[in-house]
Structure 1
Amino acid sequence: MSTEQKKKNEKPARVPATVPAELSPSLTAAMLTQFEQDFSCKSAYASAMNAAVKNGIGASCIDYEETRFCQNNFSVSLDAGEVTNQKQSGRCWMFAALNTMRQRVMKKFKLKNMELSQSYPLFWDKLEKSNWFLENILSTLDEPLEGRIMHHLLADPVADGGQWDMFADLVQKYGVIPQEAMPESFDSSATKDLTKYITLKLREGAMRLRGEHAQGKSAAELRLLKNGMMNEIYRILCISLGKPPAAFTWETRDKDDKFIRITSTPQEFFKKYVGMKLDDYVSLINAPTKDKPFYKTYTVRFLGNIAGGKPVRYLNLPIDELKKAACAQLSAGESVWFGSDVQQWFLKTEGLLSIKAVRPDLLFDTVFPLTKEQRLDYRESLMTHAMTFTGVNIADDGKPNRWRVENSWGKDVGKEGYWVMSDEWFSEFTYQVVINKKYLTKKQRDMLEQKPIELAPWDPMGSLAI
């Protein structure tokens, strides 16, 4: 082939296209200049900057008109006792559940106030979660260490958080006791160190079990090894929290100063003085995502705390049906455990959960338009905290417009620790309520008989309340 023919067959060299400055993948000097000019052209931006730099974003976002609208008075309001304080621990799910239970004890004995021990279920939850974790390791011995399953199991094996169904399992197995029978310890109120050292032992245990399995040890041999690990966890818990009582004597006085003395076991105390039929309570969720059709039941793989316990189970319903069920239970004089994303659009000092009370859109001159479905899909929001509804305000049209919330962050926020939630905030950031089945419709009760659809371990509905 001649040189001239070769030249004819060659493809012309590609000339790079000129990329317009505004489409550059880098932040160019021209872009930054334009950004600065856009910011400086509005005096309102300078005012917003001065406010936020001096006072912080949160204080600069408050809409004071909304704080006046959300009064801390309600047409339905339960006498729930003094607000509790979980302090530096992730036990909100326990506090919220115990707060619903203590009301029954207070009513039975005519008490002004009392608390059920929060340290007692913490002990058993840490022990049971440790056993749950090691059992899950035994069931996944052939999973690749670098795979997503193992990453999930090893990430936080004995976290403080939990779900209603997990607490119900604990109570059915271990009962409850008054706080005086097992008071708070340093490490129950600040669980960081306790969780750290148990997690260290559990990850070591996972390594040993997988290593022994690779060496050909039998299932029986591995389980004996696991039992020795659990003995060590029990010892750590006793040293840190104190040994839980098998029986106790509780002494107190009622509103009329009448002396009361009760000797009981934890299981007897729950059965006789709390008396909740826990099997009658179900978790209703609102997850408006395409992968979770309404009117179906769901569970989550690896979500639990007691080996051999009941799996977590949800019924997914439209948000108005959660509200209707919660109103019915409150109107009958019974508080409601619920889970929400408490860090969203809230004023902590005021104890206010309201989208209209927090206006970053006005401060930043932009919009935050994600829907509840989109926030779940893109991991912007999920259930993070459990509290208790102890009241609701029913407007003249028969619909709720605000909710009374018993939190477990002490008395220094809200009205003696009680918060106000707007109904709009309920719609957007409440994900779960626990309701006695008698307050559901027959159609809803029938839906509970469906076989639950299993969700992946990392699904947003598998989040733990802390």
Structure 2
Amino acid sequence: MSEIRQELTQTFAANFQKNPKQTALQRAVVKNGIQASAADMSAEVNNVPVFSVDVKTGKVANQKQSGRCWMFAALNTFRHRMLNQFNLKEFELSQNYTFFWDKYEKANYFYENILATADQALDSRKVAFLLQTPQQDGGQWDMIVSIFQKYGVVPKTAMPESSNSSNSRELNNYLNKKLRKDATVLRKMVAEETNVTEIQKQKEAMLQEVYNFLAMSLGTPPETFDFEYRDEEQVYHIDRQLTPQTFYDKYVGVNLDDYVSIINAPTTDKPYNQSYTVEMLGNVVGGKEVKYLNVDMSTFKKLAIAQLEQGETVWFGCDVGQSSTRDTGIMSLDAYAMNELFDIDFDMTKAERLDYGESLMTHAMVLTGVDIVDGQPTKWKVENSWGEKVGDKGFFVASDAWMDEFTYQIVVRKDLLTAEQLAAFEAEPTVLSPWDPMGALA
């Protein structure tokens, strides 16, 4: 290995000081910060929030200091339907209710994976992967489907937000402490060749503690409730003694088996028009398998447009932190002139970013509109879940070029796929490693 010599560093410093452009930029960057100094106003000019296809959605929701974007996005797609179908002005489904059952199921999923890998050394990559983050707020589309199908949904009035759902850091900290402690117990029982019945009994005792912890932190999920509201004409409605499942069937009514996850991962290890799953990725044991169909970006966007043109919004996953402005809500490749500011080439291909850990899916939102010019998309309307104080009352704009580079997943109806695409999706999937970038949780 070659060390850095002091003489070499002195040469670099002298070269920097000789360049008056760099020293002038230094003053701006030191004073204002990197992104503020590189901000390019042309991104706002080129991404005016007006769209030829624009689905009615109502106000945005706010996930606050939690990582629940994936469930907010899914619940928002349901809310869009309900606003129109039941003539509601504003309405939200309970994110706290879904959050409770996701945490509960993730604990059991972790226990089962710990038992399944109990014969492996602690420093094996799979065991280390499990223990690094036993559970977190994030998730995938098929994981939220598993929760909906098992537990239904409830209106926000039936289980409102709690302090710990709106700010989940402490909850995650202590729940992960417990899960790691429980992992020591379960691995020891396996090592001592404890019988399966005793291990199951111990796991159930652990799950009782998890339930108690969640109930104390988030509240107790309702088993039955009344749903009452006034519609836009101020007509009063009440529906009594609903369960979460009957509420879902009556007021949401979406057959979640009619939807599939489509990804765009242009890496050499994932040929297009094939299906994929990810080992150890899930939340509900016995729930829906996480599964994707990988397609090229042109096909990817055509499917999203087809669903939007039929008046239905689209759950999607992206790398929201790349070349985006939180305050103005612009996601565009020209949001910041970083190459010019530092005179450094930061550019990589989408495949290179995935392969080298520079990008992966970090956030889920909802596509609610698109601007079509001469038959081609130019920009996309995005419903975020960060409240109304960012973007255009909470809505963002993504340039079409940004979509190409930093969007990885959409969820669309099966009937929009060709017969060949559907057959490819339904084929036996290739199993990806747990740490594959396509296993990232939004």
Q: Shared fold by TM > 0.5? A: yes
Matched, 1:315 2:309: no
Correspondence for 2:43:
66
Alpha-carbon distance, 1:78 to partner: 1.1
Report the counterpart of residue 106 of structure 2 in structure 1.
129
| Structure 1 residue 139 displacement after superposition | 1.5
**Among candidates 263, 272, 286, match of residue 264 of structure 2:** 286
* Counterpart for residue 435 of structure 1: 412
Matches within 5 A, 1:214-229: 214-229=191-206
User: Could you say which structure has the larger radius of gyration?
Assistant: 1
Residue 190 (structure 1) shift: 0.7
Aligned to 1:265: 243
Deviation at 1:198, TM superposition (A): 1.4
Which of 174, 180, 197 is the aligned partner of 1:203?
180
- In 2: Cα distance, 1:54 partner to 1:384 partner: 30
1:33 Cα deviation from its structure 2 partner:
2.9
The answer to whether 1:235 aligns with 2:239 is: no
SS of residue matched to 2:157: helix
- TM-superposed CA distance for 1:262, in Å, is 2.2
Code of the residue aligned with 2:306 in structure 1: it is A
SS in 2 for 1:293: coil
Q: 1:183 aligns with which of 160, 177, 192?
A: 160
Q: Does the CA-based 8 Å contact 2:276-2:429 persist in structure 1?
A: yes
What is the deviation of 1:222?
0.4
CA distance in 1 between partners of 2:304 and 2:179 (Å): 39
Could you report, residue by residue, the CA deviation over 1:151-193 in whole angstroms, capped at 9, with x for unpaired residues? 0111111211000000001001111111111000000101111
The question of 1:346 aligning with 2:327 is answered no
Structure 2 counterpart SS, 1:204: helix
Please report the TM-score for the alignment, with normalisation by the length of structure 2.
0.98
Consecutive unaligned residues in structure 2, runs of 5 or more: none
Q: 2:147 aligns with which of 165, 170, 175?
A: 170
> How far, CA to CA, are the matches of 1:27 and 1:131 in structure 2?
50
Residue 226 of structure 2 is matched in structure 1 by 249
Residue 21 of structure 2 is aligned to residue 44 of structure 1: yes
State the 1:344 CA deviation.
0.6
2:391 is the counterpart of 1:424: no
2:386 matched to 1:409? yes
Aligned: 1:359 with 2:345? no
Contact 2:42 2:334 in 1 (8 A): no
1:175–1:267 CA contact under 8 A, matched in 2? yes
Answer whether contact 1:338 1:389 (CA < 8 A) is retained. Answer: yes
Matched, 1:26 2:3: yes
1:391 aligns with 2:372: no
Q: Which amino acid aligns with 2:90?
A: N
2:304 corresponds to:
326
Partners of 1:400 and 1:249 in 2: CA distance:
44
- Letter of the 1:278 counterpart: L
Q: Which moved more, 1:87-96 or 1:216-225?
A: 216-225
AA matched with 2:56:
D
In structure 1, C-alpha distance between the alignment counterparts of 2:222 and 2:430, rounded to whole Å: 39
CA distance in structure 2 between the aligned counterparts of 1:312 and 1:142, rounded to whole angstroms: 25
- Matched residue type, 1:61: A
Secondary structure of 1:448's aligned partner? helix
SS at match of 1:308: coil
Partners of 1:238 and 1:247 in 2: CA distance: 16
CA positional deviation for 1:366: 1.4
Q: Match for 1:363: what amino acid? A: L
CA contact (8 A) 1:285 1:314 kept: yes
Q: 2:62 aligns with which of 71, 74, 85?
A: 85
Aligned residue in 2 for 1:373: 351
Question: Which AA in structure 2 matches 1:114?
Answer: F
Amino acid at match of 1:289: T
- 8 Å Cα contact 1:361-1:368 kept in structure 2: yes
What is the CA distance between 1:369 and its match in structure 2?
2.2
Between stretches 260-269 and 86-95, larger displacement belongs to 260-269
